[in-house]
């Protein structure tokens, strides 16, 4: 097992070591949560053809691309690859699953194996992660549909109303919006793809936009986990409704 570098603990103030959790706790939690989420998602996408209940549509199945073209098999598959590509090429998740699944290394200041031929993300399959900026555009299109679904979730057969499903889909759209617009690649885009702002001499609009997105980007990891949980919760709720296991609770 990897060992923490001595130098990191040597520079730590005395007495603080006891308060820190072991370096392997975070990657282990990541591995369990992401692993269960991936298994759940595969079960949902490959074993169900629809994720709808009345006016609710699960985020895994929106937009219903399969239905547009009359394809009735594995409807979730036509669209679910977009958020998957977006999440798994996300800079934040990369750090998390490189640590959690590859354990390579599992944390900062932890010894890594010497790797003379390490090519990082310059070669297949990790080079695939360089598609992240393009995945952002696709994820943005999906996000627009998720907002449409969130609004639609408040309009039942008998008119406007609020159900638990309406709130879950709304919260999901909000959290995904924060996740999408706090993205590192999006910040780079609005910043004009520059490497040097001070070279412009005075603050430009792109610099101000870059600064604004930076303030959201600080919490990108929080939005990443919160939106993962909201997608999961919204889908599970709609799945249980469609299976007749639970009944929708209408608040009014
Ligand atoms: Fe996480 Fe772009 S860096 S979504």
Q: What spacing in Å lies between the alpha carbon of 180 and ligand 1's midpoint?
A: 7
The count of structural domains within the chain is 1
Is 205 inside any structural domain? no
Is 75 inside any structural domain? yes
Give CA torsion, residues 104, 107, 110, 111, to 10 deg: 10
Q: Is the pLDDT of residue 128 over 90?
A: no
On whether the CB atoms of residues 99 and 27 are closer than 8 A, the answer is: yes
Distance CA 116, CA 209 (A): 41
Which of ligand 1's atoms lies nearest the C-alpha of 184? 3
Our answer on whether the CB atom of 94 is closer than 6 Å to any ligand 1 atom is no
- Give the mean model confidence (pLDDT) for residues 66-90: 89
- Give the mean model confidence (pLDDT) for residues 103-111: 78
Is the peptide bond prior to 147 cis by the omega test (within 30 degrees of 0)? no
Whole-number pLDDT of residue 16: 52
The pLDDT-based confidence of 13 (bands split at 50, 70, 90) is low
Which of ligand 1's atoms lies nearest the C-alpha of 220? 1
Is 127 inside any structural domain? yes
From first CA to last CA, the distance across the chain in angstroms is 55
- Give the mean model confidence (pLDDT) for residues 187-216: 85
88: left (phi over 0), alpha (psi -120 to 50) or beta: alpha
Q: What spacing in Å lies between the alpha carbon of 223 and ligand 1's midpoint?
A: 10
Our answer on whether the CB atom of 91 is closer than 6 Å to any ligand 1 atom is yes
Whole-number pLDDT of residue 12: 52
Is 228 inside any structural domain? yes
The pLDDT-based confidence of 70 (bands split at 50, 70, 90) is confident
Least confident span in 196-200, 208-212, 235-239: 196-200
Q: Which domain holds residue 172?
A: 22-111+119-182+219-242
Our answer on whether the CB atom of 185 is closer than 6 Å to any ligand 1 atom is yes
Decide which of 15 and 96 is more confident: 96
Decide which of 54 and 107 is more confident: 54
Whole-number pLDDT of residue 1: 46
Give CA torsion, residues 226, 22, 110, 223, to 10 deg: 10
Is 189 inside any structural domain? no
Is 125 inside any structural domain? yes
Is 201 inside any structural domain? no
The residue whose CA is least distant from atom 2 of ligand 1 is 183
Of 30-34, 73-77, 234-238, give the range with the top mean pLDDT: 234-238
> In the chain, what's the furthest Cα-to-Cα distance?
67
Is 32 inside any structural domain? yes
Q: What's the mean pLDDT when you consider all of the chain?
A: 88
Which of ligand 1's atoms lies nearest the C-alpha of 93? 1
Which of ligand 1's atoms lies nearest the C-alpha of 132? 2
- Give the mean model confidence (pLDDT) for residues 56-83: 89
ipTM higher than the 0.95 cut: yes
Give CA torsion, residues 148, 149, 151, 154, to 10 deg: 160
Q: What spacing in Å lies between the alpha carbon of 46 and ligand 1's midpoint?
A: 26
């Amino acid at each position: 097992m990897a060992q923490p570098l001595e130098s990191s603990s040597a520079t730590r103030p005395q007495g603080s070591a006891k308060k820190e959790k072991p370096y392997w706790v975070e990657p282990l939690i990541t591995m369990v949560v992401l692993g269960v989420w991936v298994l759940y998602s595969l079960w949902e996408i490959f074993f169900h053809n629809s994720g709808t209940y009345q006016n609710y549509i699960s985020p895994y199945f929106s937009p219903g691309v399969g239905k547009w073209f009359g394809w009735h098999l594995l409807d979730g598959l036509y669209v679910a690859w977009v958020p998957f590509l977006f999440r798994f090429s996300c800079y934040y998740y990369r750090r998390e699953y490189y640590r959690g699944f590859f354990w390579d290394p599992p944390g900062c200041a932890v010894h890594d194996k010497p790797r003379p031929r390490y090519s990082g993300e310059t070669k297949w399959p990790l080079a695939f992660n360089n598609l992240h900026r393009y995945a952002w555009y696709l994820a943005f299109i999906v996000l627009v549909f998720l907002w449409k679904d969130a609004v639609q979730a408040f309009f039942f057969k008998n008119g406007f109303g609020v159900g638990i499903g309406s709130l879950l889909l709304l919260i999901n759209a909000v959290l995904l919006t924060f996740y999408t617009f706090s993205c590192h690649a999006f910040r780079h885009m609005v910043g004009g793809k520059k490497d040097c702002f001070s070279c412009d001499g005075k603050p430009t609009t792109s610099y101000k936009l870059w600064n604004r997105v930076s303030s959201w980007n600080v919490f990108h990891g929080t939005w990443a986990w919160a939106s993962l949980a909201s997608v999961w919760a919204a889908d599970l709720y709609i799945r249980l409704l469609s299976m007749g296991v639970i009944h929708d609770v209408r608040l009014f």
